[in-house]
Amino acid sequence: MIIRLILLFTIVPLAELYLLIQLGRVFDGAKAVIVLVLATGVLGATLARRQGLAVWRQIQRDLADGILPADGIIDGLMVVLAAALLITPGLLTDALGFAILIPPIRRLLRNRVKAMLRRKLESGTIHITTSWHDDAR
C-alpha cells in the first residue's frame, strides 16, 4: 500500500507538470495555461458545490421517507473527493474530479465501491464494530 501511495504522489505530479509544460509550448506561454488551470478550478468548485447540494437534498429525502441513505453517503464522499481533486492544480486531477461529478460515472464508481466493501466484509478483511448508546433512559 505504501508503495502505491509513493507512486501516486510522485508519478501524478510529474505527469501534471509534463502536461502543463507541453500545453505551455502549444499555447506559446504560461499565461494561457495558468488561466486554464484557474478556470477549471472555479468551474470545478461550482460544479462540486451544486452536486454536493444535490446529494445533500437526496439524503434529506431518503431520511424523510425512512430510508437509510447509504448511496447518498457514498455519493457525498465522492463529491468531496472530486472537490479535492479539482482544487489540486493540474489538468489530470481536474479531469478525474470532473468525471466523478458526472452522475452516471459517480453511480458506476459507487457500485464498484459497494461491491469492493461487500467483498471485504464477506472475506473478513475489514471488520465493522458499532456501539449503541441509549440516551432515552
pLDDT tens, 52-88?
A: 888 888 878 877 777 767 888 888 889 889 988 888 8
**Is residue 136 in some structural domain?**
no
Closest CA to 22 of 12, 32, 7: 32
pTM of the full structure: 0.68
Residue 95 CA to residue 86 CA, distance in Å, equals: 8
**Is residue 129 in some structural domain?**
no
The count of domains in the chain is: 1
At position 20, the amino acid (one-letter code) is L
Which residue in this structure is represented by grid cell 505527469? 15
Residues 6 or more apart from 121 whose CB is under 8 A from it? 128
**Is residue 70 in some structural domain?**
yes
Domain of 113 in residue numbering reads as 2-123
**Is residue 64 in some structural domain?**
yes
Average pLDDT over all residues of the chain? 82
**Is residue 13 in some structural domain?**
yes
**Is residue 137 in some structural domain?**
no
**Is residue 89 in some structural domain?**
yes
Kindly indicate the confidence band of residue 100, based on its pLDDT and cuts at 50, 70 and 90.
very high
**Is residue 135 in some structural domain?**
no
**pLDDT value at position 137?**
47
